[in-house]
Amino acid sequence: MEKLKEYVSVKDEDHFYHQGAVELLIFNFLLILTILTIWLFKNHRFRFLHETGGAMLYGLVMGLIIRYVTKSPDVESGTVYECEKLKSGPSTLLINITNQVYEYQYKREISHHNVNGHQGNTMLQKMTFDPSIFFNILLPPIIFHAGYSLKKRHFFRNLGSILTYAFLGTAISCIVIGLIMYGFVKAMVHIGQLKQWEFHFTDCLFFGSLMSATDPVTVLAIFHELNVDTDLYTLLFGESVLNDAVAIVLTHSISIYSPKENPNAFDAAAFFQSVGNFLGIFAGSFAMGSSYAVVTALISFMHLTKFTKLCEFPMLETGLFFLLSWSAFLSAEAAGLTGIVAVLFCGVTQAHYTYNNLSADSKMRTKQLFEFMNFLAENVIFCYMGLALFTFQNHIFNPLFIFGALVAVFVARASNIYPLSFLLNLGRKQKIPRTFQHMMMFSGLRGAIAFALAIRDTDSQPKQMMFSTALLVVFFTVWVCGGGTTPMLTWLQIRVGVDPDEDLKARAVSQSAPNLDKNTTKAESAWLFRIWYGFDHKY
């Protein structure tokens, strides 16, 4: 007891808080390195490694140092003590050690196989983020910025194709990855690497749903810098934006799918319950986000009229805009919906309605604010991915499972892009060329969403294997596929240096559009949007 009392002291408590400052300093240092690297890459037009790949590389090196250089200062922290009198885990635990009472709060349940030699290393513990930080703090600004920065004309011109790739394509990817991984799992069971009861078909579908979340941030940044053909950029960007939302809700729906008898058997009641849950959550989140955006638009409209003069104070106007947008996310989470989906459609609706009601200063401030928040959040996540390879304490790397995941990801992407493009071209006036399809197939990178979904639940051994594998797939796609974007564009001879507005005007002139400003969107949009455009323009 005297030895335990010596370790649990005020000095150790100060040391714990100092390590918190060290953690923030490490991330601050990594971001500074990333920013300097971005400047270097842009200055020398270096496109073989994107800033996100550089951030991951720096995080990888820092994680290696933290893992093998720092040592556990507290030999008691990794020790498991038996408390036979406790029947459940209390939220707060008071421990009396030689007449000194210490308060401990519940953090999470740890399986016996997860207790290892690094459990007492407080530095590794501090560098392991709570998964809620990703979903509640880092992902919302990334998703909102994607919706708020959407180029509406180009997006809605391809709305039908984007919705097809995002919804039907994501479902196809999920099923194909799930089936392929189930085959590899059966092989692993056959050779004795897994037990029959450890990995079910629903686990494979869960892995398929999280790996279906594409995040071609590297490719899109290069597309934007080179001004690649607007239709290709719009198809890839639109798919990735909506695909993230679909993958998040799909992952949740699969996680609650629970057949009553055999986990590997099909249960119709559980299946339809999951489908209903998917549709309900997606529709509810869409309505929640859009409603907040409409309210913000009405408030902004009143600011520009005689009712209020808040537009004379851009700082207050921007603050109100930000807080109402954030409220869409929080309200959806509080209502049991998906905040990520809500904040995405809040951003899309804000861009369409609210943005035009803002003062000139607030338009510039909101654009810069969300662009900056997106930049920071994205690079923090990619830095952490590099760190997590060494700081996460319960990795399970299985070569056969990793190889199966890489095969499944590329086969699923091909099964998504090529068949759907063929079907879409049957009804499109502006066909999707074969070169675009090859580029979209190559651009199916995995990134922040797949990582965040995988790290959300790592309690069981199958989920730990999924997380470790997802991390390696992200590394491979960002470094290899992201780095090969420019050579692939050259090889496929895809147009670059295209001005989006000039391209839109040229197409309108070729179609003899009588009124460019009003009729371009209406004439060239997907039929689904033309219905909405008529309603929106009239009312």
> What is the tens place of the pLDDT at every residue in 359-418?
888 888 888 999 899 888 888 888 888 888 888 878 889 999 999 999 999 999 999 999
Please check whether residue 363 lies inside any domain of the structure: yes
Please check whether residue 295 lies inside any domain of the structure: yes
Q: What angle do CA 30, 34, 36 make, to 5 degrees?
A: 120
Lowest mean pLDDT among 73-77, 225-229, 469-473: 73-77
Q: Where are the alpha helices (DSSP H) in 392-425?
A: 399-425
**Residue 409 backbone phi and psi in degrees, to 5:** -60, -45
For the chain, the average pLDDT equals: 78
3-state DSSP call for residue 93?
strand
Lowest mean pLDDT among 32-46, 86-100, 278-292: 86-100
The fraction of the chain above a pLDDT of 70, given in percent, is: 76
Lowest mean pLDDT among 154-163, 186-195, 329-338, 502-511: 502-511
Token pair of 499, please? 């001005």
Alpha-carbon distances, residue 245 vs 48, 201, 239, 343, 517 (angstroms): 29, 23, 10, 10, 31
Residue 357 pLDDT greater than 50, yes or no: yes
Residue partners of 347: CB distance under 8 A and separation at least 6: 143, 144, 145, 146, 147, 148, 150, 289, 293, 325
255 close to 208: Cβ distance less than 8 angstroms: no
Please check whether residue 342 lies inside any domain of the structure: yes
Please check whether residue 79 lies inside any domain of the structure: no
Q: What is the pLDDT of residue 1?
A: 46
Q: How does residue 75 score in pLDDT terms, banded at 50, 70 and 90?
A: very low
442 close to 475: Cβ distance less than 8 angstroms: no
**Domain limits for position 495:** 131-507
Please check whether residue 394 lies inside any domain of the structure: yes
Rounded Cα distance, 500 and 230, in Å: 6
What does the pLDDT look like over 285-325, one tens digit per residue?
999 998 988 888 877 666 555 455 666 777 888 888 888 88
Q: At what angle do helices 527-538 and 516-524 cross, to 10 degrees?
A: 140
- pTM of the entire structure? 0.81
Give residue 535's identity as a one-letter amino acid code.
F
pLDDT, average across residues 188-196:
82
Q: At what angle do helices 360-391 and 461-476 cross, to 10 degrees?
A: 120
Give the domain CATH number at 457: 1.20.1530.20
Rounded Cα distance, 236 and 220, in Å: 8
Q: What is the pLDDT of residue 95?
A: 76
Per-residue b or e along 157-179, where b marks 16 or more CB atoms closer than 10 Å to that residue's CB: bbbbbbbbbbbebbbbbbbbbbb
Q: What is the DSSP letter of 193?
A: S
- If one counts the domains in the chain, the total is 1
Please check whether residue 530 lies inside any domain of the structure: no
pLDDT, average across residues 440-463:
85
Q: What is the pLDDT of residue 306?
A: 46
Please check whether residue 188 lies inside any domain of the structure: yes
What does the pLDDT look like over 198-242, one tens digit per residue?
788 888 999 999 999 888 777 777 777 777 888 888 888 888 888
Please check whether residue 119 lies inside any domain of the structure: no
